[in-house]
Amino acid sequence: MRITRLIPLLTLAVLSAACGSDDPSGPVAPAAPLGVQVSATGSTTIRVTFPSASGIASYTIERAEGAAGAFALAGTVTAPLTAGTVTYDDTGLKPQTLYRYRVLAVKSGLSSAPSGETSTSTLAFGAFTKTITGDITTNTTWYADTAYTLAGFIHVTSGATLTIQPGTIIKGNEQSALFILRGAKILAVGRADAPIVMTSSKAVGQRRAGDWGGLIIIGNATTNKTGANPEVEGTGTDGTTVQSGKNYTLTYGGGTNDADDSGELRYVRVEFAGFAPRANQELNSFTFAAVGSGTRLSYLQALYGLDDAFEWFGGTVTATHLVSYETGDDHFDMSEGFRGRLQFVLGMQTATVNINPLPGQNVASDPQGIENDGCDGAGCVNGFDSNPMTTPVVANFTLIGTGDINAGSGSSGGIGMVLRRGTGGYYVNGLLAKWPRAAVSVRDQATFNRAGATVTPDLATADLALRNVSIVQSSTNFEAGTGRFSFDLPTNALVASASTTAALFTAFPATITDATPVSAFDWTPAAGSALATGGLNAFTGKLSTAAGTAVAGTAYLGAAAPGGAKWWQGWTTYAQK
């Protein structure tokens, strides 16, 4: 009996011993880090620092946006082997935004409680300043926290790449411009919420057209000026010798690579450009000389330039989502064998640029929507018939003029589309509105020949055609006179609408001044708008070949789709000073 009673007692003792055998030397969660500090190092970067503790394996950094945002993982850092300061650089943040941070220590798979919170705000775009005085000869990055001022004619030379962060501000003054030379690249890739802005160095309210030169890209694609090596207009005031930061002569002829790659521009705005280094030789807001199809261009705006907003000299580059608000001369100018493709193109002109020019500057009085030439002048071996012909595809364009016959005082000004000197091209699914002299001017026999010398060009054979274009509030459809030609409206789906310009869009202000906000423009077709339908949806013939896969037909007219994305919002602006 005693033995029987002993067995349960021994079992109880063993169980009791087992229950009390926890090892007090097992894993224990580490203490929360102390001394966490944060500081803004740029417009999109914050540095987190804190002292390390011995025995810690790693640290977890958590971030919260704003005063009440929830914490989430920002990153992890391996702990140093010896005591010291741990540094973590947080990147990709929003400018001028408050961020809160806390840190957890990790040891033996266990995390500490979070440290106390600490916070700071990122800097504004352009919080720091830097002046660029010489050419860029090695790979270089310009950062969004710095505003760069061009002090001279700055060239990115062959073999070098200039990378520009989203939100970066570049300023220029008279005697300054930015050139991307043959063999060089620019990678200026902004965002809708952080466009790259190239603008006047003057204060807002004091800016004017022609305050600085502009952006010029020179590629290695072909042009039709084969009999000479043409100079980039406005260059050479400092001679032909290459001198860093000086305006030495630049040429763009003789290229052989139509697939040439000069980099990428996306969400880039060029403002108040067009300075004239030489008398009557203004630079443009954007100049593309012999730029090849390997280059990527999208979401670009030119604002209040003294000469052309966008100009192409030969080349084959494709560009989409282009905006031009106010310009001294043409919004879109193509010549010398340009065979690129443009789609979603928006140009608006409310009046001629009215400024007091600097000495040597010529203020144009004939703003036009499109001005396209074949080949003219020195270097055109076969004159207007020089090859390759200028045959761009321009699709989904909205071009709005001054609406005032007195706004274009020159004999050729105030026209929505000027086609001359043997140019070809395919212009489809567009709007020409409020052009005081004419919607279209076909200027010479050589140009009419590109259309097959007929009022209804055949897309199977023609190198020039207008298709599916609405004409609104323009004095006449086609300019009349000696040497002027026209196309038949019905057979080309060219419709002279009785609508008003304002009725076509969701929002278009009745009066536009320098105080008009960009939010006043909504280019989406209004309900019942003539732009919502009538597009050429399927391309055929030579148009299809020229468009390739880069440009597609649409069921609507103009630069914006009914109910579609308002692609110009958030990164464009409207101002006249």
Output the pLDDT for position 38. 98
Whole-angstrom distance, CA of residue 117 vs CA of residue 129: 32
Q: Write down the pTM of the prediction.
A: 0.91
List C-alpha distances in Å: 523 to 139, 356, 504, 569.
39, 32, 8, 10
Cα–Cα separations (whole angstroms), residue 417 to 3, 373, 400: 115, 11, 11
pLDDT at 334 over 70: yes
User: Helix (H, G, I), strand (E, B), or coil: what is residue 257?
Assistant: coil
Mean pLDDT of 536-541: 97
Q: Which of 461, 458, 394, 469 is nearest to 426 (CA)?
A: 394
* % of the chain with per-residue pLDDT over 90: 84
Nearest in space to 331 (alpha carbons), one of 342, 317, 316: 342
Chain centroid to Cα 73, Å, comes to 33
Q: What is the pLDDT of residues 372-427, one digit of tens each?
A: 999 998 889 999 999 999 999 999 999 999 886 554 444 457 999 999 999 999 99
CATH 2.160.20 positions along the chain are 128-547
CATH fold for domain 128-547: Pectate Lyase C-like (2.160.20)
Q: 363 falls in which pLDDT band (50, 70, 90)?
A: low
Mean of the per-residue pLDDT values for the chain? 92
Residue 434 above 60 pLDDT?
Answer: yes
| DSSP state letters, 160-182 | -EEEE-TT-EEEE-TT-EEEE-T
| Segments of the chain assigned to CATH 2.60.40.10 | 37-121
Structure tokens at 144: 């969004």
What 65-69 contacts at long range (C-beta under 8 Å, 24+ apart), as own/partner pairs, is 65/94, 65/97, 65/98, 65/99, 65/100, 66/97, 66/98, 66/100, 67/98, 67/100, 69/100
Whether domain 37-121 has CATH 2.60.40.10: yes
Q: Which of 6-10, 345-349, 491-495, 529-533 has the lowest mean pLDDT?
A: 6-10
CB 273 within 8 A of CB 306: yes
Query: Tens digit of pLDDT for each residue in 153-179?
Result: 999 999 999 999 999 999 999 899 999
Whole-number pLDDT of residue 17:
41
| pLDDT confidence of residue 365 | 63
Locate 378 and state its tokens.
């020195």
- Sequential DSSP letters for 413-465: -SEEEEEETT--EEEEEEEEE--SSEEEEE--HHHHHHTTSSSS--TTT-SEE
Residue pair 327/349 in contact by the 8 Å Cβ criterion: yes
Q: What pLDDT was estimated at residue 14?
A: 38
What is the spatial distance between Cα 325 and Cα 303, in angstroms, rounded to a whole number?
5
Q: What per-residue confidence (pLDDT) applies to 276?
A: 87
Q: Can you say whether residue 224 is alpha, beta or left, with left for phi > 0 and alpha for psi between -120 and 50 degrees?
A: alpha
- Max intra-chain CA distance, the chain: 135
Q: Are 338 and 313 in contact (CB under 8 A)?
A: yes
pLDDT digits over 35-89, tens only? 999 999 999 999 999 999 999 999 999 999 999 999 999 999 999 988 889 999 9
Q: Give φ, ψ of 447 to 5 degrees.
A: -70, -45
pLDDT value at 357 more than 70: no
Q: Which position has the higher pLDDT, 459 or 229?
A: 459
Q: Any idea which of 64-73, 223-232, 237-246 has the lowest mean pLDDT?
A: 223-232
**For strand 368-373 and strand 415-420, is the pairing parallel, antiparallel, or unpaired?**
parallel
User: Which tokens hold the place of 177?
Assistant: 């411009």
**Residue 75: is it exposed, middle or buried by C-beta count within 10 angstroms (0-12/13-18/19+)?**
middle
- Tokens found for residue 541: 């013939």
- The residue-averaged pLDDT of 346-357 equals 78
